[in-house]
């Protein structure tokens, strides 16, 4: 015979499987069409979040990526892992790198 705790556990498992199958974190929202892109000087600009080993920074970056892709509909959002040596000049140099541009098609 089923116990009350096993029914609750089964319902939680079914809910987790439904969310995992959807490939979205925010499953109650409709997908945004058309997708948004950032245009700058006749190029598409990708959005890159640079993360290090700090857990809070990783968490905030993942949440922001989910918000930009699933709620606002931006494409080209990526998370890039870099070692962090607290060198501000090095970080700013990577931020202005031109490799984030793609040509208009």
78 part of a folded domain = yes
Tally of domains in the chain: 1
Query: Which domain, by its residues, includes 52?
Result: 25-100
pLDDT at 21: 55
Q: Is residue 40 included in any domain, yes or no?
A: yes
Assess if residue 2 is contained within a domain: no
| Residue 29 lies inside a defined structural domain of this protein | yes
> Any residues with CB less than 8 A from the CB of 82 and at least 6 apart, and which?
50, 51, 52, 94
| Structural domain includes residue 12 | no
> Is the residue at 4 inside a domain?
no
Confidence of residue 46 (pLDDT cuts 50, 70, 90): confident
pLDDT digits (tens, 9 = 90+) for 55-89: 898 999 999 998 898 888 898 899 988 887 888 88
The pLDDT, as a whole number, for residue 28 is: 65
**pLDDT score for 3:** 63
pLDDT value, residue 59: 93
In a domain, 70, yes or no: yes
Distance between CA atoms of residues 81 and 10, nearest Å: 37
- Bridge partners of 51, per DSSP, are 81
Residue 87, token pair as written in the block: 């060198």
14 falls within a domain: no
């Amino acid at each position: 015979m089923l116990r009350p705790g096993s029914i609750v556990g089964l319902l939680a498992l079914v809910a987790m499987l439904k969310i995992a199958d959807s490939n979205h974190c925010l499953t109650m929202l409709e997908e945004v069409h058309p997708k948004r892109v950032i245009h700058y000087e006749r190029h598409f600009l990708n959005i890159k979040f640079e993360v290090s080993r700090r857990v809070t920074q990783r968490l905030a970056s993942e949440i922001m990526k989910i918000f930009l892709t699933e709620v606002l509909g931006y494409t080209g959002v990526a998370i890039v892992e870099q070692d962090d040596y607290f060198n501000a000049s090095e970080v700013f140099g990577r931020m202005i790198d031109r490799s984030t541009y793609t040509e208009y098609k």
